[in-house]
Structure 1
């Protein structure tokens, strides 16, 4: 009777070892199980929705801030200040955009989004400390900060799909913190007004570029 028991025990041990080996290797398969890569057109569509929403939100924020805090500074801000992203070589006219390689447009969008990472962090703190700004404005600034990070992730995905192995461009540093924290109210409001204006300009640019790149990739530029 001992022989069958010994044989059965060995069989159970071997079976358990095989099951254990399979269980150890299982996570490698589970890591991709259920993952479905979005069709490129759908990836563009959902990214464009975020970009357009963000652009509209920044326009509202800029107009609301100027109306509430910087009416007499608006003309000065729009005519005498440059944006920290101005150093990026980005196409401005439709003709320039059409002549720019789509990979360069995608890399420009990534550079713009990355260039706003730190300014948006400080903008949240500045609005939180701004008397009379209200909870709504603060919530909108926080939302734009989150949407900008989401856009950065999604545009990177598109770049990888369109041009695997592409490297990101450098992005400009923001040097306006001293003015945003200035003890002088006019200086502070002027800096914030300019920051909101530039933020809208750049988010609008990203939304526009995305539409054009989508047209080139999914419609062979026939839109």
Structure 2
């Protein structure tokens, strides 16, 4: 007498059950919003808005860097502080190389990036963008009291701050729409140069502003990349 597992019909039935289970499991892992066209369209539109805001921040940051820092360096602004440079080499190196937001930057290459769950990915991106809320707010405030800063620089800084807030709002909205039962924990890292930007010593203050501007120029490239990647992963739109 043959065992049930050896019967061809039973084997076919068992295979069909397993395949149906895998298909159900895959479908269950796709957020309900993405399976609903009426919900999907606003999500795609918000991703597009977020990307456009990131591009705007990118352009504005380049303008601020060129108009503010290049003019300061080219006019010999740091010459008066040349005696301090040897004593503060470590601080200058940190200002040019260290970014407080790095710890919240999602992976962008390798196995970890490939296997990264979209829900956690979006959470990290929200914290990555949110890392700039306090520094930008402080930048706008301090630029108002620096005497030799033009109105153009004020305007650019205001626009960067405004667009960063709107970008963060867009990403939060996407999260609540795609993962309505998900829990969003905001863990914005502290900007280490915050105390220096409040300094009455122009050298320290400018160093802090340079750190912020330099890091934002680097981070916005990652932000654009992450938004494009998440848009593709979550909506299957805009995939290269």
Shift of 1:69: 2.3
Question: For 1:167-186, what aligned pairs fall within 5 Å after superposition?
Answer: 167-169=183-185, 170-186=187-203
Relative to structure 1, is the Cα distance of residues 197 and 102 closer, same or farther in structure 2, using a 3 angstrom cutoff?
A: same
1:117-176 deviation line (CA, Å, top 9, x unaligned): 111111002212223220011011111111111111110111122222222242212232
Question: For 1:1-223, what aligned pairs fall within 5 Å after superposition?
Answer: 38-70=41-73, 76=92, 80-88=96-104, 90-93=106-109, 96-169=112-185, 170-219=187-236, 222-223=239-240
Distance in 1, Cα, partners of 2:135 & 2:203: 19
1:75-102 deviation line (CA, Å, top 9, x unaligned): 9457754112123252143765444222
Structure 1 unaligned residues grouped into runs of 5+ = 1-35
Structure 2 unaligned residues grouped into runs of 5+ = 1-37, 79-88
Aligned to 1:28: none
Contact 1:77 1:193 in 2 (8 A): no
How many residues in Structure 1 have an aligned counterpart in Structure 2? 187
Shift of 1:203: 2.7
Contact 2:232 2:238 in 1 (8 A): yes
Shift of 1:53: 1.3
Who wins on radius of gyration, i.e. which is larger?
Answer: 1
1:16-57 deviation line (CA, Å, top 9, x unaligned): xxxxxxxxxxxxxxxxxxxx8653222211221112111221
Contact 2:61 2:216 in 1 (8 A): yes
Distance in 1, Cα, partners of 2:139 & 2:148: 15
Distance in 2, Cα, partners of 1:186 & 1:58: 21
